[in-house]
Amino acid sequence: MAQVELSPGVHVVIGGDFPKCNTLVLISDEVVVVDPGCSVEALRRMLHSQDLELRDVDSVILSHIHPDHITHAVRLNRLSKCRIVANEITAPLFNEKEKMKEFLGFHKGQPARKSWEKLVNDRMYGALDAGRVDEALSDGEKYNVGDLTLQVLYTPGHLPDHMCLEILEPRLIFGADLDLTEFGPFYGHRNSSIDEFKDSIRLVQQRNYEGLISGHLEKPLVVNYRSALTAYSRQFDLRDDLVLSAVMGGAGSIDELTLSPIIYPTIPSPVILQFEIWMIEHHVKGLIAKGFVEEKKGRLEPI
């Protein structure tokens, strides 16, 4: 299944293998592509099925600055002269890719930077191309696409610039990286936040939709998204328990906690190790704040 039509004019092109993301395509008087991270060929085929071409795209909207979500934005803009739309936090990061790298923690001299750049260029080629956002949206702002109306819903935590997009008719939400995958929530950057991620999940759960469109699931529409988000949220506690039990087992530092993987099943590259380290740092901070762990003479100890 490379593509699915969820309702008239609302299509999803399935991203497929990691790290490609699902791309939402809205077709009305205009053609709007949200998070162009699927393969270009899959997007081309989907548009062909509607008698459209890549050059017919009018707007590209980006949910946040992660390279798997912005991959083809600049190339689509060069091809179709489409507008690039992002929220006001994402926009300056997109406009200056060095700012994007710093925002993600990969500043010059950061040990995993080269490995991260290689991963992006190997698997998300185009994400680092120079380009400019034409229109910046703020929280709650509406964006009309013919009969369809989109509304911005800020959902920080995964990253500070992460937003979901509500589709008002039919009432759906594009969850982007509130993605409901088996892996669970990703907060593998210094500026990610577990507490904000939990608040964002609660915000989406309080709202009424016919379904949530995941940025990464192969079957992207999740109708029972409230209970699915609760199960997804449990990963935070499970990982807290895993980190706590490693501290109780004698791991007294972040280095020692990352000797064997806790979050990822394996650590195949310096980039994944870096994500593991940053996610574990968030858990250690949380366990200290909750009074389960303390730092004594530079060593982590259970209380």
Q: Which is nearer to Zn ion, 37 or 286 (CB)?
A: 37
Rounded least distance, CB 191 to Zn ion, Å: 12
Residue 179 binds Zn ion (CB under 5 A): no
Rounded least distance, CB 162 to Zn ion, Å: 7
Interface of this chain with Zn ion, residues 85 to 144, rule: CB under 5 A: none
Helix (H, G, I), strand (E, B) or coil at 265: coil
Whether 193 contacts 289, CB under 8 Å:
no
CA distance 138 to 161: 11
- For residues 60 to 79, the per-residue mask of contacts with Zn ion, x marking binding by CB under 5 A and - elsewhere, is ------x-------------
Q: What share of the chain is helix, strand, coil (3-state, %, to 5)?
A: 35, 20, 45
CA angle 218, 223, 228 (to 5 degrees): 80
Query: Checking DSSP bridges between strand 163-167 and strand 148-154, what pairing results, if any?
Result: antiparallel
Q: Which is nearer to Zn ion, 196 or 246 (CB)?
A: 196
Span of 125-133, 175-183, 240-248, 285-293 interacting with Zn ion by CB under 5 A:
175-183
Q: Which is nearer to Zn ion, 80 or 90 (CB)?
A: 90
| Site size for Zn ion (CB under 5 A) | 2
Q: Which is nearer to Zn ion, 64 or 239 (CB)?
A: 64
Rounded least distance, CB 82 to Zn ion, Å: 22
Length of the chain: 303
Which amino acid would we find at residue 33? V
CA distance 209 to 103: 32
Span of 172-180, 217-225, 230-238, 241-249 interacting with Zn ion by CB under 5 A:
172-180
Rounded least distance, CB 270 to Zn ion, Å: 19
Q: Cα-atom radius of gyration of the chain, to the nearest Å?
A: 20
Helix (H, G, I), strand (E, B) or coil at 254: helix
Rounded least distance, CB 69 to Zn ion, Å: 6
Give the residue, chosen from 35, 161, 166, 177, that forms a contact with Zn ion under the rule CB under 5 A: 177
Rounded least distance, CB 252 to Zn ion, Å: 31
Largest CA distance in the chain: 67
Q: Which is nearer to Zn ion, 72 or 80 (CB)?
A: 72
Tokens 């969820």 identify what position?
6
Q: Dihedral of the CA atoms 74, 75, 77, 80 (nearest 10)?
A: -170
Span of 12-20, 58-66, 129-137, 221-229 interacting with Zn ion by CB under 5 A:
58-66
Helix (H, G, I), strand (E, B) or coil at 140: coil
Q: Which is nearer to Zn ion, 178 or 247 (CB)?
A: 178
Q: Which is nearer to Zn ion, 103 or 257 (CB)?
A: 103
Cα separation values, 290 from 194, 240, 283, 302, 303, Å: 13, 11, 10, 12, 10
Q: Which is nearer to Zn ion, 177 or 276 (CB)?
A: 177
- Kindly list the residues in this chain that would bind Zn ion in the complex (CB under 5 A): 66, 177
